[in-house]
Amino acid sequence: MHTPQNPATGRSATWALTVLTLCSFTLGTGEIMIAGLLPDIAGDAGVSLSTAGLLVSSFAMTVVIGGPVLALTTGRTRRRRLLTALMLVYVLGNAVSAVAASFWPLAAGRILAALAHSALMPLFFGIAADVVPPHKRGMAVARVSLGFSLAMIAGLPIGTAIGQWLGWRATFWAVAALTLAVIVPVAALAPDTPGSGAADDQGRLKELKVLGDRRVQIVTGVTALAAAASFTAYTYVTPLLTDTVGFSESAVTVLLLLFGIGGTVGNLIGGRLTDRSVLGAVAQSVAALAVSLLLLGMTTGVKPVAVAFLFLFGAAYYAVIPAVNTRLLNVASQQARTLALTVQSSAFNLGTALGGWLGGRVIAAGAGLRWLPVTGGVVALLALVFAVVEATGERRRAQAASSAGPAAMEAVPENAV
């Protein structure tokens, strides 16, 4: 059984969380950088843009499937050994993609990297929780998540710029090199202890019952649909901005940075809305996502307006994230808190895969690129229906519990609605 490390203090804890943030930044950049490289990759590999978009879907589906499989098959492996091996596999996957002479070897490299990615993030979260006192674990996990926000703000535009200046292969090499650089410090943080025992394996299997909870199913469904709505457009954001809106390739880097800034702003707003009402924040942020996508598709002929809605698109999507995560923890924490992040990650990546596939189908059908955000907006409206129905139902349950007395109210999570 895994025994937590003694919590670190002061500078050692700060150093540990900084390393873990850098690790999640590296993984996040490696995952999303493909959005800025698709046109060049499609051209060099001799495939259509919609086919190149499968690189996004295949990565996401590998994370969805690979996470649970690796959790069950590597549970007893020593933590430090497992982490080091997975980091090396991530390096190998990016290197394979960098040297690939055609599309399918490139896709194989992406799948290999995605397999490592699916198991690394739970390890990073676990290490972060171990190096701080229990009352600071929420902050520590948030620090690790910060790496993904930084990947959107800095990693994606930097990766796109490297790809434009030195070729798309250089971006894969850069991610591989950065991963190599952090292997030693992050391995030093990992406890050199065995993984779970047989009893833990049985407990983990029992936790899977939480997936039968209707509230868990709805919030993960909303998460998947919101991700699908976003990535229907975002997977092809570079050609959308260049071929349809009319920006130059050099301007795309700045626009992607603007999208990332919007995401940071939206994340903060989403957090504040969630503190007021969790389900209210879910519905409001999904509604904003639907509106921003629909209006982005309708205004591609007017550059300043399209840029404004691109910013709002980023803000709306990242406002969804704290709302759905908090909702999931509220409804699953008493039954299977340790499973919550895995379920949410699977939902997100399933939606990412669906969005990449759906966007590719829109392009293959001959529709213009402007229809990608419109299609995404329609998917977001579907997510909004589920969010509103759940909020209405939860409010009625809370009112019924209130009428039934204090004992019944204890069953309703604080700030659930």
Give a yes or no: residue 333 inside a domain.
Answer: yes
In a domain, 269, yes or no: yes
74-78, 167-171, 208-212, 270-274: range with highest mean pLDDT: 167-171
Q: Is 248 helix (H, G, I), strand (E, B) or coil?
A: coil
Q: What is the mean pLDDT of residues 47-58?
A: 85
Of 159-163, 175-179, 205-209, 251-255, the range with the lowest mean pLDDT is 205-209
340's tokens: 């919550």
CB 21 within 8 A of CB 145: no
The rounded distance, in Å, linking the Cα atoms of 168 and 253 is 14
Alpha-carbon dihedral sign for residues 170, 171, 176, 181: positive
On whether both 20 and 107 belong to a single domain, the answer is yes
Q: What is the pLDDT of residue 358?
A: 93
The CA distance from 369 to 245, in Å, is 10
Is residue 405 very low, low, confident or very high in pLDDT (cuts 50, 70, 90)? low
Residue 153 is given by DSSP the state: I
* Residue 369 belongs to domain spanning: 207-417
Rounded (5°) CA angle 358-51-155: 80
| Residue 272 burial (C-beta neighbours within 10 Å; 0-12, 13-18, 19+) | exposed
Q: How many domains does the chain have?
A: 2
DSSP letters for 280-294: HHHHHHHHHHHHHHH
Lowest mean pLDDT among 101-115, 242-256, 327-341: 327-341
Query: Among 77-81, 103-107, 329-333, 340-344, which range has the highest average pLDDT?
Result: 103-107
pLDDT tens per residue, range 11-47 = 677 888 889 989 989 999 998 888 788 889 999 988 8
* Same domain membership, residue 345 and residue 252: yes
Same domain, residue pair 174 and 287: no
Residues 19, 143, single domain; the answer is: yes
Q: How far apart are CA 361 and CA 350, in angstroms?
A: 17
Judge if 30 and 95 occupy the same domain: yes
Most distant CA atoms of the chain, gap in Å = 68
Are residue 24 and residue 121 in the same domain, yes or no? yes
What is the C-alpha separation between 245 and 313, in angstroms, rounded?
15
The rounded distance, in Å, linking the Cα atoms of 182 and 4 is 22
In the chain, DSSP finds a helix count (H) and a strand count (E) of 17, 0
Virtual CA dihedral for 154, 157, 163, 169, nearest 10 degrees?
Answer: 50
- Report yes or no on 201 lying in a domain: no
Q: To the nearest 10°, the Cα dihedral for 190, 114, 33, 122?
A: -40
Please spell the DSSP secondary structure of 301-333, one letter per residue.
TSHHHHHHHHHHHHHHHHHHHHHHHHHHHHHHH
Same domain, 157 and 12: yes
CATH of the domain at 105: 1.20.1250.20
For residue 207, give the 3-state DSSP assignment. Answer: helix
C-alpha span between 291 and 44 (Å, rounded): 36
Domain boundary among 196, 215, 249: 196
In a domain, 361, yes or no: yes
The structure's pTM equals 0.72
168 within a domain of the structure (yes/no)? yes
Residue finishing a domain among 196, 220, 238 = 196
What is the rounded CA–CA span in Å between residue 111 and residue 66?
10
Q: How many residues does the chain have?
A: 417
pLDDT at residue 306 in the model: 93
Same domain (yes/no): 325, 237:
yes
145 with 57, same domain?
yes
- The pLDDT, as a whole number, for residue 3 is 44
Do 225 and 309 lie in one domain? The reply is yes
Residues 26 and 135 in one domain: yes
For residues 185 and 323, membership in a common domain is answered with: no
In a domain, 33, yes or no: yes
Per-residue pLDDT for 342 more than 80?
A: no
Sort residue 405 into left (φ over 0), alpha (ψ -120 to 50) or beta. left
Residue 328 in any domain: the answer is yes
Using alpha carbons only, give the angle 145, 146, 148 rounded to the nearest 5 degrees.
75
Residue 202 lies in a domain: no
In this structure, what token pair is assigned to residue 208?
């899977």
Last residue of a domain, one of 196, 225, 244: 196
